[in-house]
Amino acid sequence: MSSIRLLSSGRGLPWESLIDVVGADSGCLPRVSLRDRIITIRIDELPCPAASILKQCMLSGGADALVHREVLTCRTEKSGAIVYGTPAALRRGCDSLKNQPFGLDEIATRIREYTAEDTRPEFLKVNNRKLAYSETPLIMGILNVTPDSFSDGGNYFSTQDAADQAVEMEKAGAAVIDIGGESTRPGSRAIPADEQQERVIPVIQAIRERSPVPISIDTCIPEVAEAAITAGAGMINSINGMETPGMAELAVSMDVPVAIMHMKGTPETMQANPCYGDATGEVAHYLQSRIEVLVNSGLPREMIFVDPGIGFGKRLEDNLALIRSLEWIGFFTGCRVLLGHSRKSFLKSITGIDTANQRDSVTHIVTALTSGADMIRVHDVPGAVAAFKVSAALRGIS
């Protein structure tokens, strides 16, 4: 079976603003918003005749497909395809693919799925607060209460400093505060449960005395997660995909949402020559397998975030491919997507900026340009908010 991947669902123009500009009836929004929405889909490893049929069927519906230049001459055995068009045109093309050979009927089914309306949840509930999804991703503020995290270790190691920082991030626009008591930088070693609890529980309690801001606990240990939730956290952020025995059952019993991340190896070993054949596909299939375990344990899919794990056992090219594919990962898994790119070393590889806490400016460039993330996890919350404001203003029509 050929690999099929969404490249872009083409959100298109800010039609609400355009309708206001001309004074048109707002009832036309559902109709016009689809007319410039160009969906782009990549299909790999098609037999030459299948690629030719696919192109002709798409053209018949008003869409198109880029295929190998030698498809018509049959001088190539295989061809990839880039299929693109409006949702309606793609669906008409799929109608023509019905009963075609080479598995094209099944490919048509997948294409139709990508043209359908997004059925993922419209909001996330953390600590009894509803966080609504929109064109602008939610912001998760990073609060490491550790002495050795890669960019801010020791900055918020005291309870009071950490609580102050959490309140400041909330004021700046953070929807969730993610608290971790264990460094997961490359080469770091695991911290025992009791030491993690000594670091994070007083901080959670101190924040709860001052603010109802939603809190996520960043840990792979069930005992730490349970203590943190009892103290006032409302979400679990697991860098090992909730693989630790007991974590899935804990999330179900305490009725909290989770973020599951992909990581190759452990923090101590993950950057020791990581290698992938297809990083995006492998990561997405891993996340899907973990979702199935959690759902089968009783956790609703709408309470699960997926995180591709930027920098966790990835090469530069893997990180870039995953960031480009966030939208597809969301469609493939049926879950909302969390992106943790803040100050990561792949930004150093691109820019040469060696000091982690000086990479906020390039972090914000990724924040503003990336599509497909429903929540971003960052150190500099005010900077992320500013990046979103500028991005939104540039997309608007005045």
The set of catalytic residues is: 344, 377
Please tell me what DSSP assigns to residue 69: T
312, 188 Cβ separation under 8 angstroms: no
Strands 64-67 and 39-47: unpaired
CA atoms of 60 and 85, how far apart (whole Å): 12
7, 328 Cβ separation under 8 angstroms: yes
DSSP string, 372-384: S-SEEEES-HHHH
Distances, alpha carbon 259 to alpha carbons 114, 165, 346, in Å = 24, 22, 22
> By C-alpha distance, which of 23, 73, 26, 27 is closest to 48?
73
CA atoms of 85 and 54, how far apart (whole Å): 13
**Strand arrangement, sheet containing 4-8:** 4-8, 39-47, 78-85, 64-67
Sign of the dihedral defined by the CA atoms of residues 27, 28, 34, 36, in that order = negative
CA atoms of 306 and 158, how far apart (whole Å): 31
> By C-alpha distance, which of 275, 354, 258, 380 is closest to 317?
275
Task: List CB contacts of 73: < 8 A, sequence separation 6 or more.
Answer: none
CA atoms of 368 and 12, how far apart (whole Å): 16
Task: List CB contacts of 49: < 8 A, sequence separation 6 or more.
Answer: 74, 101, 102
Phi and psi for 180 in degrees, rounded to 5?
Answer: -130, 140
H or E segment and range at residue 56: helix 48-61
- SS3 call for 293: helix
> By C-alpha distance, which of 7, 80, 17 is closest to 43?
80
